[in-house]
Amino acid sequence: MTEKVCFYCKGGLESSYNTHFTELDNCMVIIKNVPCHRCSQCGEVVYTMTMVEAIEKIVESVKAIKTEVVIMDYQNVA
């Protein structure tokens, strides 16, 4: 089995959760508790392709909401 390593520092990646921030037009989108891999050495966060696609779908769903800040919990919207 191949161990997952950080692209930047070659430290080990561990399963974790992250708060993802992104801007969409004039809206700040915050998604809490997103599953990820986090480097135990430098803290870099890596998402799987499946997670990236899920995040993109969540952000796309926010486009219809006319507000400046949206805070969502991944566990409730994925």
For the segment 37-61, what is each residue's pLDDT rounded down to a tens digit?
999 999 999 999 999 999 999 998 8
Task: Indicate whether 43 belongs to any domain.
Answer: yes
pLDDT attached to residue 64: 81
Its pTM stands at 0.83
Domain count, the chain: 1
Task: Indicate whether 5 belongs to any domain.
Answer: no
Count of H helices and E strands in the chain? 2, 4
Domain range holding 51?
Answer: 26-77
pLDDT attached to residue 67: 85
Q: Count of residues for the chain?
A: 78
Average model confidence (pLDDT) across the chain: 90
List the beta bridge partners of residue 45: 38
Task: Indicate whether 4 belongs to any domain.
Answer: no
Cβ contacts of 58 within 8 Å, gap of 6 or more? 29, 31, 72, 74, 77, 78
C-alpha of 6 from chain center: 16
Task: Indicate whether 6 belongs to any domain.
Answer: no
Task: Indicate whether 13 belongs to any domain.
Answer: no
Q: Residue 33 corresponds to which tokens in the numbers above?
A: 């508790």
Task: Indicate whether 3 belongs to any domain.
Answer: no
Task: Indicate whether 1 belongs to any domain.
Answer: no
